[in-house]
Amino acid sequence: MITKETVGRVAKVARLNLTEEELEKFSHELSSIMEAFEELKKAKAGKEPAFHPIVLRDSVRADIAEHCLTEDKALQNAEQKEGKFIKGPRAV
């Protein structure tokens, strides 16, 4: 059972504001979903976790500057900005 309190705690970590109704609804839904997912505990498993479906090699390249976005393009989608800076909430 995932209680309303647990949903609230998870929502806070995930930076979501939930209404009382949503807390109630998600508590029920998540409980039934996670209950079904309990089957996973009995499932046959490999020894090592498969983080990817295929074996990947580290991908590296020479440390040489390459073409990247211009300042204008990098800023074109930010609505809150001042000059060449993106404006955010106060940090301190």
Partner 1 sequence: MWIKEAQELDKKYNIFITLAEKAEGKFPLAVKDNICTDGLRTTAGSKILHNYIPPFDATVVQRLKAVGAAVVGKTAMDEFGFGTFSVNCAYKVPKNPLNTDRSCGGSSGGSAAYIAASKHAKFALGQSTGGSISCPAAFCGVVGLTPTYGLVSRYGLIDYGNSLDKIGLLAKTVEDAAFALGIIAGHDPKDSTSLPLERRGYAKHCIPQDLKIGVPKEYFESVETGVEKAVWVAIKKLEAEGIEYREVSLPSTKSALFSYYIIAMCEASTNLAKYCGLRYGLSENPEGRSFNEYFSSVRTKGFGQEVKRRILMGTFARMAGYREAYYLKALKVRANVIAEFKRVLKSVDVLAAPTMPMIAPRFSEIASLTPLQHYTSDVLTVPANLAGLPQISVPCGKSEGMPVGLHFIGNHLAENKIISAGWFAEKIFGGKHG
User: Whose structure tokens read 């079904």?
Assistant: 36
Find the binding residues for partner 1 in span 70-89 (CB under 8 A): 73-74, 76-80, 86-89
Interface with partner 1, residue 16, by CB under 8 A: yes
Please count the CA atoms within 13 angstroms of the CA of 38 that sit on its side-chain side: 7
Q: Which of 26, 24, 22, 44 lies closest to 34 in space, CA to CA?
A: 26
Interface with partner 1, residue 39, by CB under 8 A: yes
Binding site for partner 1 (CB under 8 A): 2, 6-7, 10-11, 13-18, 22, 26, 29-30, 32-34, 36-37, 39-41, 43-54, 56-57, 59, 61, 69, 73-74, 76-80, 86-91
